[in-house]
Amino acid sequence: MEGKKVIITGVPGVGKTTVVNEALKKLQEEGIGYKSINFGTFMFEVARNDKVVENRDQMRTLDRAVQKRLQQRAAQAIAQVSGNVLIDTHASVKTPKGYLAGLPEWVLRELMPDIIVLVETDDDQILMRRLSDDTRSRDKEGARSIAEHQQFNRSMAAAYAMMTGCTIRIITNADFLLERSSTELADVLR
């Protein structure tokens, strides 16, 4: 049987990976399995083999054509995965030359999601999470710029729904309320 394909998005540092891990733990206890895939990791494997980057945060500064090629190769590889699949990625990527669609037509055609989830929270909470994470090389931007990115992602999600017929679900991952956001995501995935 065909599985469910769910794409999870949100600006860097909003807590996508944290919410996904918690939700999958809940489902595992009920015997519901999902393959959890990080789109950026697939892109990074290709980029590192091609020797165009040394760390994943450099990918968004690559030439647009190179990012497009990496996107395409990642989408083709992920499309081969069968069963219930959860793909952690971005509705849009902030590059030095402007927003790049994370799920353009050539990616959506491969993935054809059932649901796209947008994880959001207050802009200043995201700013604080980024500032306290020294394992990554995060872009330096203020709360207003993060707000613009979250707003832009909603517009992109609307376009993706028009292209594929998928539904869009918005989940708020507020400080100290991880239990609530992961429960909401588990409900979406069931």
Regarding 153 and contact with ligand AP5 (CB under 6 A), the answer is no
Q: Which stretch binds ligand AP5 (CB under 6 A): 54-62, 78-86, 141-149, 159-167?
A: 54-62
Nearest to ligand AP5 of 32, 100 (CB atom): 100
Residues that contact ligand AP5, how many (by CB under 6 A): 32
Q: Does 177 bind ligand AP5 (CB under 6 A)?
A: yes
Site string for ligand AP5, 22-51 (x = CB under 6 A): ----------------xxx--x--------
User: Which CB atom, from 4 or from 69, has the smaller least distance to ligand AP5?
Assistant: 69
> Does 149 contact ligand AP5 by CB under 6 A?
no
Counting Cα atoms < 13 Å in the Cβ hemisphere of 26 gives 18
Query: Which residues of the shown chain bind ligand AP5 in the complex (CB under 6 A)?
Result: 10, 12-18, 38-40, 43, 56-57, 59-60, 67, 71, 88-90, 93, 102-103, 129, 133, 136, 173, 175-178
